[in-house]
Amino acid sequence: MSDKRIYAFPGESPIGEHRGMTLRDWFAGQVLLGLVTTNYDVGNSPDPDGEYAKRAYHLAEAMMGERTETGEF
């Protein structure tokens, strides 16, 4: 992945410009929500080893790569 960061919610605050979270982090959070919701619905326990987070970032990387390939950035 490129070192260029794409921010999900850039803007300004009373103390100056802020970048907010990266788009990659936002994608991972959305994926994580789906993973946790789906697994709680079927009665699985929480994920103490961080496998959900690893999967979420893996899928977020794929989403960022797809944006780059299609020219959407």
Query: Is 64 inside any structural domain?
Result: yes
Terminal Cα-to-Cα distance of the chain (whole angstroms): 13
Please identify which residue in the block is written with the tokens 């080893």.
Answer: 49
pLDDT tens for each residue of 26-44: 999 999 888 877 766 555 6
Query: Is 13 inside any structural domain?
Result: no
Residue 1 has pLDDT above 80, yes or no: no
Query: Is 1 inside any structural domain?
Result: no
Mean pLDDT score of the chain = 77
Query: Is 61 inside any structural domain?
Result: yes
Query: Is 54 inside any structural domain?
Result: yes
- Region 15-29: mean pLDDT is 81
19, two tokens: 């970048």
The whole domain housing 30 covers 21-70
Query: Is 65 inside any structural domain?
Result: yes
